[in-house]
Structure 1
Amino acid sequence: MSHSERAPLRVAAYCRVSTDKEDQLNSLAAQRRFFQEYIAGHPAWAFAGIFADEGLSGTSVKRRPQFAELVQRAMAGGIDLILTKEVSRFARNTVDALQITRQLKGRGVGVLFLNDNIDTRENDGEFRLTIMASVAQEESRKVSERTRWGQLQAMKRGVAFGNNSLYGYTLSGGRLTIQPEQAEVVRAVYRKFLTERKGSHIIARELTESGVRPPLRSGGAWSSAMVLRLLKNEKYCGDLLQKKYRTTDHLTHRKIVNDGAEEQFCLRDHHEAIVSRSQFQAVQEELARRSRLTADRNRFSARYWYSGKIRCGACGRSLTLKRTRRPDGTEYRRFVCRGRLEGSGGCQMRAVRAEELFACTQYVLERLALDRRAMLEELLGAWRAWRQPDGTPEKIRQALRRQGARRERAVEAFLDGDLDRAAMHRAISRCEGEMQRLEAELAQWERSSVTEDEAEIRARLERELEDGDAFLDEAVQRVTVYPEDLLVEVAELPVRFRVRAEGRGTGAEYTVAVRACLSEPRERE
């Protein structure tokens, strides 16, 4: 084939502007016209398209969809030559520029940088590109530093930055303005958490069931994490904390939590508050208190906490914890009826995954914690009944028997390998300390009929209910397993809770959601 009969060179162009402001978009339109005319002015070229990214950074190719499409089409054989004005439009990252041009050259595709007079098809093309790409990368760093400095000064002046996704406010021109309908939802969340003593999971469920639209880009349902973000964000009390996140470098633009590496700025009373400062502070204190309670729960080995308390609803025997190691190294834990372990002729009750048991029990405890005041009154009522001379000693004896049984369970858990020696000694010491107190109390009752003042009893019960260790150790008395649900019984309460949960996923991705929790009268023992 003669030169005149060769197929035309398929030429495409790439252009980019770094912002989506009007003047920049006008510049983009001008770039398009320039490349169309430039390609049309070469008879041996065939127009293969113009690819343009608007309002995107050039430091990384990952966030430029049109650029990625251009490279993909060229690598597939649809383009012979790519035009761009300068290296900084193509890539401000030296590594990216060299890697991509090498890949394209390997497929016979050249890149022509018009303003820089670099053609990667020529012998010195890569050498000259390396120099210009390095210059572009350094310029990008300087621009990034100037931009960060400018943002920092704006932050000090109180200009709010963000993408207008803060629930309850609209962000315009660096100013936060209350969005009334969403602000009412925020106030309701604070009221539910602080006054009604509800947890984030329950609040999220109630908002979803009420048809309240969640924050943008979050689907159709509220989550616990969304509720917690509302409760922890200082903006709702009128303050503005700047520099919560920082950018790791100007090439990746990846943001991470600012853990003190860069200075933060907190502007008090920066904008109109949705909740009062006292409400916000009270919520932070309550969050910290509940966090301590969770930490207290975790200090107890789950294996010991439930040891001897889980019963089979079919045969009445206890369930034991079994562990299986998966191929990926994760552990699969389930509680199995001891009767079922006897073989094919044993009990046929289902095994319960540890995640289901823990989720159902903690759900009940959280529900009780919501109405801790009512629980206090219930215990006080029980105390008033016990204070009669003919009833109280027997109640103390029952408590002594419970502590003795708890001590025996600790020993049993140690012998089964579910509890280490140190934890066993701590549990026994705790039980024996309580037994000594009860024995002294019983002796006092037997010597005289003098009783404690009710105000002192109330204060002691309040302290015990606030004590995470004592509350958890005492709270769950029994969990009975049935084919469809679990029956959770809490010490000293006249009701018990029938809880149904649903698990989804496999392996480490397995999650449990409580679907129903109904209370029913507790049978007298």
Structure 2
Amino acid sequence: MIEENEKLTTYREYPYLVYARVSTDKDEQKDSLTNQVDICRYWLEQNKFEWNERSILQDEAKSGTMFLERTAMQLILKKARNREIKMVIFKSIHRLARDLKDALEIKEVLLGHGVRVVTIEEGYDSQYEGKNDMKFEMFSMFAAQYPKTQSVSISAALAAKVRKGHHIGKIPYGYDRVNQLLVIKEDEAAVIRKIFNWYNYYGYGQKTITNKLNEGVEEGTILPPKSGGIWQLTTIQRILRNRTFCGDFILNQYTNVKVDGRKKQIKNPKSKWTIIKDHHPAIVPREEFNKANNKKVVNNKRKVTPWNEFRGLLKCGHCGSNMIIMQSWKRKKDGTKTHWKYLKCSKYRRSNKCVNHPPITYEDFRKLILQKLIVETTKARFNLEANVSKNDQIKVKKIKNEIANLNNKIDRLLDIYLEGILNKFDYENKREELQKRIQQLEDKLFTLNMEKERAISIKTIKEALDQLNDTNKDLFHVFNVLIEYGVIYIDGTIDLKYKFNEDNE
């Protein structure tokens, strides 16, 4: 701690940041952003640091368990790595992180770059704790346990509400929520009944039902889905499988997990589900729901998409949706089947709301693309190294010109300051900003000048070129190295954008 007679440390001489976070706008007053900042400010002033409003960084409505979604925290770590700060102050470790791994990682990054870490409630100050991490780890563990305990309590409370007949979560199509209870919304429920009726008694397939619904939407005789727009094939499939419509409610069907610092929803195994039958009024009788779900096409027959070496590369020239592979077959007189695969616009498949491309078999399309690639890469193979070198030279020239311009700006800035037009504070801030940009460009220039990086790029493309003649193997990775994207138009025209042309930087 700084002694009373010591000179006050200014913001510029000792750059620090104050971090505050709230998970929701319903956080208690003691954890509000204003309260957190006030506590940190009091600590700073008591320890003879000059207060600066610009030192505050806040994450609002950001869970402490979601590390990568907290933009202010990511900025703190970036500034630490760039040696731009010397201290970070938190009201408590609970505000720092609610995950033990994240808390320890944040602390290691900060300490590893010479940043002092202070958490006021726990009395932790890395300047005085030295290598003794037990206090920090212990409080981090308590902070990590809190959301787990809270989650269990909340889940139990929600389960109790559901067992009383209350509804939680998103209101499903066909229902309204009144006094926490689901009630049937007749105009939407009529659409649900129509879907089951067409499927069970008219023999319509899911694609036919999708098309008929969209025709009704256009004519104004059928309501659109809750999100508006058009009905999709996947929506019809989910409706036919959704037990909500026969009056059931499923608890614990999904759960949130943390993957690489972000939330991801996964489906729990059925053994973990809690099914509450007759929880709310049914739109379709249970026997109708069971009849729809006992069909082989729903439960047993699973469509398997053929292996697609062009997945993610091809777009429809009419609507921009992905082109996918469909498969079909025809039985011959001798009982054998003829199978074929063909390209189709995914939007047309889902909803008929695009053009139906003339059938292009996958095998013919693959041969055509290989022929195009062989022709184009024959030209590129002989000057590949020259092209890559040329592109890098252009990039280097641009970066050098930008650095020169920034240095000229710094010189002009100094002239303006010496003439008294600009005060010292503004001059130093602007100069620092320009110098940071120069540093970023110099780092990029260093990377471009590394011969090894350029050699790896050339080698990767060359290896892809060498594999084009081996047509019997899976060429997915080869196509991804050589092709940026492809567009297929209604007249059968195919446009390919290559990654190895001279105009590609």
Aligned residue type for 1:90: L
CA distance in 1, matches of 2:149, 2:185: 38
Match 1:259 to one of 269, 290, 311: 269
1:114 offset after TM fit, Å? 0.5
Q: Which residue of 2 aligns with 1:147?
A: 154
Q: Which runs of 5+ in 1 are unaligned?
A: 303-322, 329-352, 366-401, 411-472, 482-497, 516-525
**Do the aligned partners of residues 84 and 194 (structure 1) sit closer, same or farther apart at CA in structure 2, a change above 3 Å counting?**
same
User: Aligned with 1:88: secondary structure?
Assistant: helix
Partners in 1 of 2:89 and 2:156 — Cα distance? Answer: 34
The aligned residue for residue 10 of structure 1 is: 15
Instruction: Please tell me the root mean square deviation across aligned C-alpha atoms, in Å.
Output: 4.8
Which deviates the most, 65-74 or 77-86? 65-74
Summarize the Cα distance change of 1:166–1:134 in structure 2 as closer, same or farther, 3 Å threshold. Answer: same
Within 1, Cα distance between the matches of 2:44 and 2:176?
A: 46
In the superposition, relative to structure 1, how do residues 116 and 237 fare at CA in structure 2: closer, same or farther (>3 Å)? same
Look up the match of 1:337.
none
- What residue number does 1:318 align with? none
Shift in alpha-carbon separation, 1:227–1:25, aligned structure 2, 3 A:
farther
Residues 169 and 65 of structure 1: CA distance in aligned 2, closer, same or farther (over 3 Å): farther
**Counterpart in the other structure of 2:249:** 240
Label 1:202 to 1:76 Cα distance change in 2 as closer, same or farther (>3 A).
farther
One of 134, 137, 142 as aligned partner of 1:130: 137
Change (3 A) 1:44 1:178: same
Deviations for 1:312-367, whole angstroms, at most 9, x for unmatched residues? Answer: xxxxxxxxxxx9x9799xxxxxxxxxxxxxxxxxxxxxxxx9945x25x59xx9xx
Displacement of 1:129 in angstroms is 1.2
Residue deviations 1:92-111 (CA, integer Å, cap 9, x gap): 22221111111122333332
User: Is 1:52 aligned to residue 58 of structure 2?
Assistant: yes
Shift in alpha-carbon separation, 1:241–1:90, aligned structure 2, 3 A: same
1:109 alignment partner in structure 2: 115
The match for 2:165 among 158, 167, 170 is: 158
Which residue pairs with 1:305 in the alignment? none
Secondary structure of the structure 2 residue equivalent to 1:103: helix
Alignment of 1:44-443 (within 5 A): 44-122=50-128, 123-124=130-131, 126-162=133-169, 164=170, 166-171=172-177, 174-208=180-214, 210-211=217-218, 213-216=224-227, 220-246=229-255, 254-268=264-278, 270-286=279-295, 288-289=296-297, 291-292=299-300, 294=301, 355-356=325-326, 358-359=327-328, 406=334
TM-fit CA distance, 1:166:
2.6
* CA positional deviation for 1:183: 3.0
Please report how far the alpha carbon of residue 88 of structure 1 lies from its aligned counterpart in structure 2 after TM superposition: 1.7
- Report how far residue 85 of structure 1 moved: 1.3
Q: Give the counterpart letter for 1:201 in structure 2.
A: K
Instruction: Measure, in 2, the Cα distance between the counterparts of 1:5 and 1:289.
Output: 74
Q: TM-score, normalised by structure 2?
A: 0.53
How far the C-alpha of 1:117 sits from its partner, in A, is: 0.9
Q: 1:68 to 1:195 in 2, by over 3 A?
A: farther
CA distance change for structure 1 residues 35 and 214 in 2, over 3 Å: closer, same or farther? Answer: farther
Of 115-124 and 207-216, more deviation after overlay is shown by 207-216
TM-score normalised by the chain length of structure 1: 0.51
User: How far 1:231 moved relative to its partner?
Assistant: 1.2
Shift of 1:241: 2.2
> What residue number does 1:393 align with?
none
**Counterpart-to-counterpart distance in 1, 2:90 and 2:236:** 48
In 1: Cα distance, 2:288 partner to 2:257 partner = 35
1:226 positional shift: 1.4
Q: Is the 8 A contact 1:8 1:44 kept in 2?
A: no
Change (3 A) 1:283 1:249: same
Question: Is the CA contact 1:17–1:25 (under 8 Å) kept in the aligned structure 2?
Answer: no
Cα distance between partner residues in 2 of 1:148 and 1:62: 25
1:285 and 1:276 map into 2 onto residues whose CA distance is 14
User: After alignment, is 53-62 or 251-260 more displaced?
Assistant: 251-260
Distance 1:208 1:62 in 2: 40
* Aligned-pair CA distance for 1:22: 6.9
Which consecutive unaligned segments of at least 5 residues does structure 2 have?
Answer: 1-5, 312-322, 343-355, 367-475, 491-505
Counterparts in 2 of 1:43 and 1:63: CA distance versus 1, 3 Å: closer
- d(CA) in 2 for partners of 1:67 and 1:165? 35
Residues 435-471 of structure 1: per-residue CA shift (max 9 Å, x gap): xxxxxxxxxxxxxxxxxxxxxxxxxxxxxxxxxxxxx
Shift of 1:229: 1.0
Flag the 1:255–1:79 CA change in 2: closer, same or farther, 3 A.
Answer: same
Query: Contact between 1:83 and 1:114, CA under 8 Å: does it hold in 2?
Result: yes
- CA contact under 8 A between 1:11 and 1:47: conserved in structure 2? no
Q: In the TM superposition, what are the counterparts of 1:509-520 in structure 2 within 5 Å?
A: none
Change (3 A) 1:502 1:187: farther
Conserved in 2, the CA contact under 8 Å of 1:158 and 1:267? no
Alpha-carbon distance in structure 1 between the residues aligned to 2:253 and 2:287: 23
Cα distance between partner residues in 2 of 1:24 and 1:167: 38
Aligned twin of 1:377 = none
Cα offset for 1:39? 5.1
Aligned residues: 334
**1:440 maps to which residue?**
none
Distance in structure 1 (CA, Å) of the matches to 2:146 and 2:264: 19
Q: CA separation of 1:5/1:96 partners in 2, compared to 1, >3 Å: closer, same or farther?
A: closer
1:32, 1:173 → 2: CA distance?
40
SS at match of 2:280: coil
Deviations 1:190-224 (A, max 9, x none): 233234322223333444453564444xx944332
Whether the aligned pair in 1 keeps the contact of 2:16 and 2:86 (CA below 8 Å) is yes
Distance 1:137 1:236, change over 3 A: same
CA separation of 1:184 and 1:66: change in aligned 2, threshold 3 A: farther
**Secondary structure, aligned partner of 2:167:** coil
Shift of 1:261: 4.2
Residue in structure 1 matched with residue 36 of structure 2 by the alignment: 31
- Aligned equivalents of 1:24 and 1:191: distance in 2? 54
TM-aligned CA deviation for residue 116 of structure 1? 0.6
Whole-Å separation in 1 of the counterparts to 2:189 and 2:198 = 14
- SS of residue paired to 1:62: coil
Structure 2 CA distance, aligned partners of 1:166 and 1:103? 45
Deviation at 1:182, TM superposition (A): 3.4
